[in-house]
Structure formats: structure tokens, C-alpha cells
Amino acid sequence: MACGAEAVRWVGVRGPDGLGSGVSHPSAGLSDRPAPSRAAALRALLAGPELAFLMEAHSGLSARIVEEAGFAGIWGSGLAMSASLGLRDNNEASWTQVLEQVEYMADATRLPILLDGDTGYGNFNSVRRLVAKLCARGVAGVCIEDKLFPKTNSFIGEAQPLADVEEFCGRIRAAKDSQIDDDFCLVARTEALISGHPMDEALRRAEAYHRAGADAILIHSKQRTAHEILGFMARWGDRCPVVIVPTMYYATPTAAFREAGISTVIWANHLVRASITAMRQTAARIHGDQALSEVEDRIASVRDIFALVDNDELERAGDRYLPVASLPAPVPPPPAVVGIVLAASRGEGLGPLTADRPKCMIDVRGRPLLAQLLDTLRQGGVRDLAVVRGYAKAAISADTVPADGLVLLDNDDYATTGEVASLLRAEGRLRGETVIVYGDVLFRRYILDALMGVDADIVIAVDALRQRAQAARGAHSAHPRDLVRADKPFSTSYLDDAPATLQEIGAVAPGLSTGEWIGLLRLSPHGAELVRAELDAMRADGSAAQADMPALLARLSARHPVAVHYITGHWLDVDTVTDLADARNFS
Ligand code: SPV
Ligand code: MG
């Protein structure tokens, strides 16, 4: 029987034989040809002509992320798995605890997993039990190292004692005799170089392990360059596949490994290390702020968690297995929120930076501003997105911004028309809940979330502090046309939660302005109808071609309440080089 011959991902569900070979999804019919076992997949990676890569994972979730990234196989790192349990890489977790951990990983992905089996957790007998259990749990292979139980991580201390060669060969033979799947892979790792022995000893051991039946040799080194590894390869040739772990010689170009004829590179601990950095930063920020708003759009969403653990599958399974009467009435998904991004203008204030692209395509920290804006909109649930292009329109394309269902519309008269003319290009999309935004604006996602929650047909986001902040910096107000006067100013009072309504927008008289519109507005389905009607009226009276968005909002507010949602910073637009410098510091 093959280990883990799943055709589809299964979520902790065993086949009828209880050995993980079954297909959990009944829709995969009996006539479906079984996919090759995961052990066969690992064997193909190890023995194949191309340089292969295994990425570290230490949990079901990280295993999913490795698969999502496109890797073909997983390294079940002893260091990362023990660290994720808060334990040391000294066999503090028992081998059955490791088995449970790797089982979660196997359940969470379809990828072959090479488990770091340390020394095999004892002698030949513990290796036999380990290999049989790994096969039963759909794990594709195991790597054992020629050290003594309990092990110590290779990067701690010097001259760790090695196992006797003959005794270690017995562990290898015991492993190969215990595998249930012919393709199960045993990788024998020699620590000879790590322990300070000469290359001849490393080669002697590798040869002995190869003869004992190892499917591949892992040659480990803790040097800062790959000279030991390349020296080993020069003498080893192609006796059998060689696996390496370039944690210490990380600066070596991957091409050098390819040229040396190495079979497989293990990126051994980089996800657990990345998660430590991310968790530390997030914890420190929340602790310091005693609030969440700064971190919300820098971390994965709750919806992302649901997707990673495949909540949809559970829903589909409920449809199959629950009695119909007990099923909750299906809730239709909410209609997608429409997003219209007005990105037609060049941005004269940016001079040569916009010679070949509109200002929304200027790089801010390595990504065009518009790409970041689209990400924020999508994360906020605005999915049905259209961008109205104009100046240097070829610069905005599916190659340069995240396309995912994006519609590109053109205002080819951008040089002689205003923003309302651009909005008219997207008029047909003004149906249902709609967000309209300038293409050169970046804002934190919580601002969009808050706008979506305002109970009004038309609501605009207004910064109550920007003018004050600019005055304090000695800067003039960059956007007199976006100044706003509402019927009440921003208030920090807990008790003052009455909504504010727009009275005037444009060049508001000095001293009367209560804030600055940030270029972001949200419409309810009825609000979208009101805007369509106003656009019709503007077309009829001839003002549509030249009008800017504040002019449209001024007209709307004369007939309908336009709610003002005050914010205090956490946004940027890019009109000048100073704005751009600010944007580049906006993370
Ligand atoms: C592991 O990832 O646990 C390894 C590789 O064994 S190393 O830490 O380099 O020894
Ligand atoms: Mg290890």
C-alpha cells in the first residue's frame, strides 16, 4: 500500500483502512486514478534532474502556507517544530509528540513531507517504529543524522560526538526494512564536517550510509561559505542524491548548488524565524498603543485564516452529510461592493517623475501606489473594481497592478476634462454599494471599514487635523479645493456622536473649514442612484465635462444629506514631491 495516496486534500479524515490512504471527498469517484503517493513525489524530487527545494514548516498552518507559495515539498524541521512548542531542539518533545505534529502538517497539505527525524530517537528499534508510523500517517520520508540521542542542534557547541558508523548503518537498514511504501525515502545525514572531522571522514560515512541503503545523503556544514559543500560534491560525484541545508552559507548563489550537481536544497527554518519577527512587532505595537488600528492592515485578516483552513470545504461537507431539515437557510452572499478609482491625471506637481506614468503609478517602497490602494480596497471588501485611466494609460495594466477581476476604463480626454468626466466613464458601474476614490491616495484600511459602517447614503472621509498639521509645519494647504465645512466640527468627546453633515466643499473661507476631504467616498445603493441622477443633471446643463469631484459633492449636498466621517490622519495623497517623500515613509 502506498503512503498517503490522497487525490485531494483531506482534513484529518482517514480512509477506510485508517491509514490515510483514502480519499475523503466522495465526489472523487472510484474510477479516479490515484495520484502518485507523496513518497513517490519526494523520491522524484530527490532523484530528479532539477535542483529541488524543500521549505520548512512546523505546523498545519505553516505547511499550508508552504503549499500556497508553490513549493513542491516540505521540510519538517526539528528545530522549528520544537521551537513552535516552546521547546529546545534537544529531543525535549517525545517522538510521538513529533509524530502528532507532523500528522497535522500531512493533513493540512498534499505536499510530500521529509521529516527531520533527528537521530531516529534512539536505536534501530525506535527507527523501525518511527518509519512504520510515518508511512501510516502519509509522511513521505525521514532524515536521520549520525549523532547520539538525545541530540543537540548542529549550531550549538563544537565537536559533538558522532555515532559509530556500523551502528548508524544498522539504523538505516532498519528504516528501509520497515517502510510500508516502496517509495518512502530515507535521507542519511552526516554531521562529520559540523563536528570538525576531515572531508575524508565525511566521504567515508556518506559512502557507508549509501551502501546501507540510504536514498540520499545530507551533507551538513556550518561554514559561512559553501566551500566544504562544494569540496564534498567534487569528490562525491553522482553516487546518489545529495541534500544540503544552507542556513549558514546563505549568501551562496543558488546557481552554485545547481552547478555542483546538488539534488535538493532545504530552507530549514525561515518560516518560524519570520513568524517570530512578525509576532514580536505586532505584540509590541498593540502593547504600546493599547489599540489595534495600527496593526489591522499589516496582518492577515480573519477571513484569510478561514481560507487557509478551508472553511468552505466544511460548508460543502455539511450540505452532503447533514439532514436537509437541520441545515441553516442559505444566506446569499452580500453583493460585491463596487470600487471606482479615478486615476486619469498626470500629477503636474511631480515633474519628471510622471514623465512616463501617471502619479498613481509612482513607486512607494517598491510598489506602485495604485497597487497598494487596490490591495487596501480588496482587503476592505471592495472587490468589483474599475480604474479610470487617462495620462500615460499604458503604464496601468494587468502587468503592473494586481489584476484579479480589475476593469480598466479610459478617459482619453483627460487633458481637457475634469474628474467627473472620468467618473462618467464608469457610470454604468454605479449600481449598489460603491466606493469612489482618487488613485493617488493611500489610507489605512480601518478608515475604509469605518466608512462602510456609516449609516448614510453618501458619506465622505474628512481629515479634521490635516490643515492644523500643515499649518504647524509651516506648509500651505495643498488642496484648497478639497476643504470642507460641516455643520459640526470634529469632536473627541465620547458623548458627542451626532453625525456631521456637509455644508460646503471647495475653497472654503479660511477659519470656517472643519477639515479636508481625503478623496474617498462611499455610496449606499440609493446613494449610487442619487449620484447617477446628479450626473444626468450635470450632463444636461453642460457642466459635467469640466467639473471636479468637489463640485459634484457640492451639488449633491444641496439636495441630499452628505455625511461627513471625520478621521485624524493615517492617510496620504501624492501631489507634490513633499507628499511623495511622506508617502515613502508611510508603511
Ligand atoms: C532542522 O531544521 O532542525 C535541522 C537543520 O536539523 S539544522 O538546524 O541546520 O541542523
Ligand atoms: Mg534538526
pLDDT tens digits, one per residue of 141-198: 999 999 999 998 888 888 889 999 999 999 999 999 999 999 999 999 999 999 999 9
Asked whether the beta carbons of 442 and 376 are under 8 A apart, the reply is yes
Q: What is the mean pLDDT of residues 35-41?
A: 89
pLDDT attached to residue 36: 74
- Confirm whether 2 is domain-assigned: no
**89 is annotated as an active-site residue:** yes
Q: In whole angstroms, how far apart are CA 568 and each of 211, 246, 490, 497, 565?
A: 70, 47, 9, 16, 10
pLDDT attached to residue 15: 33
Residue 233 and residue 342 in one domain: no
- Confirm whether 34 is domain-assigned: no
| Whether this model's pTM surpasses 0.85 | no
Residue 231 and residue 342 in one domain: no
Nearest to 390, CA basis, from 376, 406, 409: 409
Residue 98 and residue 194 in one domain: yes
Q: Who surrounds ion ligand 2 at CB < 5 A? A: 78, 116
Confidence tier at 25 by pLDDT (50, 70, 90):
very low
- Confirm whether 12 is domain-assigned: no
pLDDT attached to residue 14: 32
Q: pLDDT higher for 543 or 470? A: 543
C-beta of 152 in contact with ligand 1 (< 6 A): no
- Confirm whether 514 is domain-assigned: yes
Residue 367 and residue 241 in one domain: no
Calculate Rg over the CA atoms of the chain.
31
The residues, ordered by sequence, that sit 6+ positions from 158 with a Cβ below 8 Å of its Cβ are 195, 196
Residue 44 and residue 145 in one domain: yes
C-beta of 154 in contact with ligand 1 (< 6 A): yes
Mutate to test the pocket of ligand 1, among 74, 101, 102, 153 (most ligand atoms within 8 A of CB): 153
3-state SS class at 552? helix
pLDDT attached to residue 469: 64
Residue 376 and residue 261 in one domain: no
Give the structural domain span for 570. 337-583
- Confirm whether 87 is domain-assigned: yes
| Ligand closest to the CA atom of residue 194 | 1
**Ligand 1 atom nearest to 78, measured from its CA:** 3
C-beta of 77 in contact with ligand 1 (< 6 A): yes
- Confirm whether 342 is domain-assigned: yes
Residue 341 and residue 205 in one domain: no
- Confirm whether 406 is domain-assigned: yes
Per-residue pLDDT for 11 more than 80?
A: no
CATH of the domain at 462: 3.90.550.10
pLDDT attached to residue 496: 79
pLDDT attached to residue 475: 56
- Confirm whether 321 is domain-assigned: no
- Which of 268, 291, 326 is the endpoint of a domain? 268
C-beta of 116 in contact with ligand 1 (< 6 A): yes
pLDDT attached to residue 346: 80
Asked whether the beta carbons of 547 and 420 are under 8 A apart, the reply is yes
CATH of the domain at 69: 3.20.20.60
pLDDT, the chain, mean = 89
59-86 confidence digits (pLDDT tens): 999 999 999 999 999 999 999 999 999 9
Mutate to test the pocket of ligand 1, among 58, 81, 82, 89 (most ligand atoms within 8 A of CB): 89
- Looking up cell 439636495, which residue turns up? 559
- Which of 216, 241, 268 is the endpoint of a domain? 268
Per-residue pLDDT for 391 more than 50?
A: yes
- Which of 268, 294, 321 is the endpoint of a domain? 268
Q: pLDDT higher for 290 or 477? A: 290
Query: Strands 515-523 and 458-463: what pairing?
Result: antiparallel
Confidence tier at 470 by pLDDT (50, 70, 90):
low
CB-CB neighbours of 157 under 10 Å = 9
C-beta of 153 in contact with ligand 1 (< 6 A): yes
Residue 227 and residue 342 in one domain: no
Residue whose CA lies nearest to ligand 1 atom number 2: 77
Residue 217 and residue 352 in one domain: no
CA 428 from centre of chain:
33
Residue 251 and residue 346 in one domain: no
Lookup: cell for 546: 469640466
C-beta of 245 in contact with ligand 1 (< 6 A): yes
Residue 406 and residue 536 in one domain: yes
Identified catalytic residue from 17, 89, 304, 579: 89
- Total domain count for the chain? 2
Residue 264 and residue 364 in one domain: no
CA 412 from centre of chain:
36
d(CA 330, ligand 2 centre) in Å: 48
**Ligand 1 atom nearest to 189, measured from its CA:** 6
